[in-house]
Amino acid sequence: MKASDYNRIIRSLLKDEFELIRECKDGDLTAEFRHKKCGHCFTRTAQEIAYNGLRCNRCYGLSREETLYNLQEQQALEIYDKCMKKLGPGYEVKGDTSSLDNEIEVVRVGKDYFIIKIDDLLNDRNLPEYLIHCTLKEKSVQMQILQNFVKPRYELLSDFSSLDDIISVRDNNAEKILKVTVKDLLVQ
Ligand SMILES: [Zn+2]
């Protein structure tokens, strides 16, 4: 995606809360914001926004990375990130991720949970059926980023190169496949 596409997405996240001081540029997907309520200015990359949403650290505490870093060792953080990248949005991981041999609880938010050994999860062993289809192929960077911008009920099934492309999306609440443009998906 081009920087202008990211900027369009970012602008839709500002609401009345944030002011966009500096936009993303091609080659530097870093934007700068001001939190209107407290005046705090901060920079975020498009990837960080995709991961954490847009929020003010001064008002809402430490970022996810800082919190996790304080709580866990570096290796546990890396394994945790691998699990979350594998699972995608709509899932939470609970338990000690300091070793690949540990068992963790994978929660499908609003649904159920299952227990799995981390090594099995990362290597596609003993996966529940509903996870198998989304682990078959690696998602592209823009798919991962868009996936984090859309509602958790939607799961992207095809790649795209512009906001006008028509893509296949699985609606996990209605259990059906939709064909929509990226643009339309963002306003769902
Ligand atoms: Zn603030």
Triad 106, 112, 117: Cα angle to 5°: 25
If you average pLDDT over every residue of the chain, what do you get? 84
Domain boundaries, the chain: 3-65, 74-133, 137-186
Predicted local confidence at residue 88, as pLDDT: 80
pLDDT for position 123: 86
Ligand 1 centroid from CA 31, angstroms: 16
**Least confidently predicted of 34-48, 50-64, 139-153:** 50-64
Q: What angle do CA 107, 111, 13 make, to 5 degrees?
A: 80
The rounded Å distance from CA 37 to ligand 1 centre is 6
pTM: predicted TM-score of the whole model, two decimal places? 0.38
How far lies 109's CA from each of 9, 12, 67, 151, 181, in Å? 24, 24, 21, 12, 26
Buried/exposed code over 98-128 (b: 16+ C-beta within 10 A; e: otherwise): beeeeebebbbeeeeeeebbbeebbeeeebe
- Expressed in angstroms and rounded, the spacing between residue 59 Cα and the centre of ligand 1 is 4
Separation of 12 CA from ligand 1 center, angstroms? 19
CA of 112 to the centre of ligand 1 (A): 34
Distance 18 CA to ligand 1 centre (A): 9
Predicted confidence (pLDDT) per residue in 70-84, tens digit: 555 677 888 888 898
Report the pLDDT averaged over residues 171-187. Answer: 86
Alpha helices in 72-108 (DSSP H): 74-87
Rounded to the nearest whole angstrom, what is the distance from the C-alpha of residue 56 to the centroid of ligand 1?
A: 5
Above 70 in pLDDT, residue 46? yes
Grouping H, G, I as helix, E, B as strand and the rest as coil, residue 135 is helix
Ligand 1 geometric centre to CA of 15 (Å): 14
Cα diameter, the chain: 49
Highest mean pLDDT among 16-20, 39-43, 75-79: 16-20
* CA of 57 relative to ligand 1 center, distance in Å: 7
